[in-house]
Amino acid sequence: MKIELSEYDAAWPGLYQRERERIVAALPDAELEHVGSTSVPGLCAKPLIDMMLVVDDPRDEASYVPALEAAGYRVTVREDDWHDHRILKGPDTKVNLHVFPRGCAQVRRHLVFRDWLRVNDDDRELYALTKRELVARARERERVQDYAAAKREVVLEILERAFLAWRPSSDDVEYVTETPAGDVRITLEDYNPAWPDWYAREEERIRGALGSEVVRLEHVGSTSVPGLAAKPLIDILLVVPDSDDEDAYVPALVEAGYCLRLREPGWYRHRLLKDSDPEVNLHVFSPACEEVDRMLAFRDRLRTNVEDRAEYEAVKRELATRGWERVQDYADGKTRVVERIVLRALG
């Protein structure tokens, strides 16, 4: 299939609006966005309107597909192994309607990329130039997927800059128990095969304390990645029905030996609890939280990709040679490499 690029067409937003009205008539509460190159004024694009629909569960097609089919849409792609992604085609406009679950990190990825290109002239021009060069070199038999794959490196490069600029502030922090600032030294250890056992003991303790309040419990962070050097600290991801409802889980965890360290209401309603034997960071989030998706994507990428694991470890070892005012400053120093690897994981 030959890829054809068109100069930006001022009619594209109107086509999106028409499709939006059609979809909202079928699904009145639809959470819908115009994404892709046709959503960026001044950017050349394939003349195809990409739209993104966010639902609770894309696999529950009965909750949205019949209504869309009645409006003329049809399902053409199902990817249960990739964020439960669906694509529907429109009735008369060239449309790709992408469906993702609420809390999926792909949603933020699409919006950050779009919004960055709308305001950053240099990266918009870089992306346009890359697309034009690829189209000029393309052969007739190349598929749309081949064209998309060829753009991947420049997309990741732009996304890395976009996410570093977008990244939500961590200033909205309420410390419940304080740790004095000072000359913090980071001590990394080679991977210890006992770390999964440490996590298993903590998992048993948490489940025993909370019972059915546990929606999800995962070993995350560097100690969850075989072969990766780490601080001997077990990072645990806990999803509860509502992280703001501390009465439902904090007292039971305190009774089990944890202490509430901090609240970050502006950062995904995050709570952090700690223990010291072994040292544990227990991160608490609510369901349908994109940070949960990102943390698991990062862990799974490091578990399966030797090159990314080596890149991450090299950065950590270099940062560990420095002195830090706070442990958080060391974590902030890893932001760029973490963001890069997460974006590779998301594809």
Domains of the chain and any CATH numbers:
12-166 (3.30.460.10), 174-328 (3.30.460.10)
- Give the per-residue pLDDT at 141: 44
Give pLDDT tens digits for 82-102: 999 999 999 988 999 999 999
User: How does strand 184-185 pair with strand 49-55?
Assistant: unpaired
3-state secondary structure of 232: coil
- Ramachandran category for residue 42: left, alpha or beta (phi over 0 → left; psi -120 to 50 → alpha): left
- 314 phi, psi to nearest 5 deg: -60, -40
Using CA atoms, how far apart are residues 167 and 92, in angstroms rounded to an integer?
A: 38
Q: Burial, 262: exposed, middle or buried (Cβ in 10 Å; 0-12, 13-18, 19+)?
A: middle
pLDDT, averaged across the chain: 93
Using CA atoms, how far apart are residues 284 and 292, in angstroms rounded to an integer?
A: 10
In single-letter form, the type of residue at position 60 comes to: D
- DSSP structural state of residue 20: H
Tokens at 136, concatenated: 């000029």
- DSSP structural state of residue 213: G
Query: CA geometry: angle at 292 spanning 123 and 308, to 5°?
Result: 60
- Give the per-residue pLDDT at 92: 85
Using CA atoms, how far apart are residues 333 and 326, in angstroms rounded to an integer?
A: 11
Query: Taking the chain, what is the end-to-end CA distance rounded to the nearest angstrom?
Result: 23
- Give the per-residue pLDDT at 142: 58
From 98, 189, 93, select the one nearest 148 (Cα to Cα): 98
Q: Which residues of the chain have pLDDT under 70?
A: 1, 139-145, 168-171, 179-184
Instruction: Estimate to the nearest angstrom the gap between the alpha carbon of 146 and the chain centroid.
Output: 24
- 133 phi, psi to nearest 5 deg: -65, -40
- Give the per-residue pLDDT at 169: 60
Give pLDDT tens digits for 116-173: 999 999 999 999 999 999 988 876 545 666 777 789 999 999 999 999 999 766 668 8
Instruction: Estimate to the nearest angstrom the gap between the alpha carbon of 345 and the chain centroid.
Output: 9
Q: How many CB atoms lie within 10 A of CB 243?
A: 24
Q: Are 191 and 227 in contact (CB under 8 A)?
A: yes
- 78 phi, psi to nearest 5 deg: -130, 125
Q: Which neighbouring-strand residues pair with 231? A: none
Q: Are 316 and 270 in contact (CB under 8 A)?
A: no
Q: Are 197 and 281 in contact (CB under 8 A)?
A: no
Instruction: Estimate to the nearest angstrom the gap between the alpha carbon of 85 and the chain centroid.
Output: 14
**Residues in contact with 318: Cβ distance below 8 Å, sequence separation at least 6, in sequence order:** none
In single-letter form, the type of residue at position 342 comes to: V
